[in-house]
Chain A
């Protein structure tokens, strides 16, 4: 029973961070109707920023959040403005161009990082990296708990922005009906730039929070793009609430896979769930929750 609970706890904790990755991707999906296949690579860039800040300035990864997030917001906004929006002109004939562009951007980011840092594994080991809290017999890895809390706060902040502010409502309006949004005076192009920025900022937060736990190397990005894609499909494309469920489901699935099958097979479990969802629940979890 303890093992079961322990597995569940670590699954939920990692799931909270996965949700952060998925929300960014689903937001971009919802507004721009493209799958951002550079999502994990953006996260990787944020991780390297955090790594450099730690290595050379001794900055704590949690403090680096305040640098990595704005930096990635800017990078995301620039990508949307300079690389993706120009492709909108041929959107009606070649809609897949934008997705191909994100693949290219992902590759370029990976290779630039490889040129600068090489392919070696890096890691950030803080004083609290290995620290553990206990609740009864269940162990809580402290960095994971903190990361989960921050992920929760960021998600709450995002929901407040989307549901309560005019700008956030404009983002939702653009996602639901772009032409009508423009008629209402929403500068749809600016909204796309903002949305990509927010998506990149959120995945930057996830990267920074995961850094004390994961090894870092340039190709880690592709790995997480795949995860983000699975989460987004699990949640139902374009649904932010769905992405949270998707993230937690994937986290729990991997955690159970690692405990009860084998560590090497944990990604397989995620993929099997992904396939099952595609076959039996093509609309994702959104179909069940209706939100």
Chain B
């Protein structure tokens, strides 16, 4: 479904991603793990066209998307739940969610999708009329995920959904992501929380210093000696 080929990305003179190749098949739950500064978020931004690559190609459902402007990506069915939530702080939870459903197709079913999203996140129903900036960290993350769902995407990108959350809330967020996946969503997630994410994903790629170091089934990587040493401290 998503295919990244020989991708090189740089910010000015600093190259961040080196010859990155990976793919996500329909219905898969793929995770990119790596330490701080490995280039994970840049990868996500490249997929969403927020940064344009120096060279290489990104295609979604066979269509090349790295040359498209950022605002046309979501309309193709690829929703991005960005790092640090990136809500609209002075808009209500409801308005934030509505902003997720701007494309003509998503707009048609906005009311139903909205109710569905709220049933997945009952907490947000209580906060419907509250400004998003006044929500707690966990609620903000739920709001960001719900906003992504509002676009009725075929695939979702999650960038560090556990960032700044307590272990309990992190568990909760991962459970929700898994639930969304079980309902048929294709997912690409970026995480620093290596142990937990490798446990729930189908496949994973390990990113180090902007290069793909290894890949494999989540559970296999969890057993891998190198991964253990580098990320799990064993």
Contacts and interface: CB of A to CB of B under 8 A. Distances in A.
A180 B100 CA distance: 10
Interface string A157-199: 0000000001001101100110111111111100000000000
A235 to B, nearest CB: 15
B218 interface: no
A153 to B, nearest CB: 25
Contacts of B102: 166, 170, 184-186
**Chain B CB within 10 A, most for which of A169, A179, A183, A187:** A183
Given A169-B95, A169-B99, A173-B99, A182 B88 contact: no
Contacts of A183: 48, 50, 70-71, 73-74, 79-80, 82, 86
Interface string B5-19: 000000000000000
B71 A172 contact: no
Contact of A166 (B74, B89, B98, B147): B98
Contacts of A176: 88-91
A71 B141 CA distance: 44
Nearest to A174: B88
Contact of A169 (B74, B89, B91, B103): B91
Contacts of A182: 50, 70-71
B57 to A, nearest CB: 21
Nearest to A188: B71
Contact of B86 (A169, A177, A187): A177
Contacts of B27: none
Interface size range of chain A in the complex: 10 to 19
A181 B147 CA distance: 11
B98 A185 contact: no
A143 B117 CA distance: 52
A177 B48 contact: no
B72 to A, nearest CB: 7
Contacts of A184: 71, 74, 99-100, 102, 147, 151
A169 B71 CA distance: 15
A179 B48 CA distance: 11
B69 interface: yes
B56 interface: no
A179 B86 contact: yes
Interface string A248-268: 000000000000000000000
Q: Which of B70, B91, B100 lies at the interface centre, i.e. has the most chain A CB atoms within 10 A of its CB?
A: B70
Interface string B83-107: 0001111110001001110110001
A172 B87 CA distance: 12
B75 interface: yes
B108 to A, nearest CB: 13
A187 B48 CA distance: 14
A173 B101 CA distance: 13
Contacts of A179: 50, 82, 86
Contacts of B151: 184-185
A166 B90 CA distance: 15
Nearest to B79: A183
B124 to A, nearest CB: 17
A250 to B, nearest CB: 25
Contacts of A169: 91, 95, 98-99
A177 B88 contact: yes
B88 A185 contact: no
B99 A181 contact: yes
A209 B39 CA distance: 55
A186 B102 CA distance: 8
B134 to A, nearest CB: 11
A77 B168 CA distance: 49
Interface in B98-152: 98-100, 102-103, 107, 147, 151
Contacts of B80: 183
Contacts of B75: 185
B58 to A, nearest CB: 16
A102 to B, nearest CB: 25
Contacts of A188: 71
4 A-B pairs with least C-beta separation: A180-B86, A182-B70, A185-B74, A176-B88
Given A173-B99, A185-B72, A185-B73, 10 more contacts: A169-B98, A177-B87, A179-B50, A182-B70, A182-B71, A183-B73, A184-B74, A184-B100, A184-B102, A185-B75
Interface of B: 48, 50, 69-75, 79-80, 82, 86-91, 95, 98-100, 102-103, 107, 147, 151
6 contacts: A166-B107, A172-B90, A173-B88, A176-B90, A177-B88, A182-B50
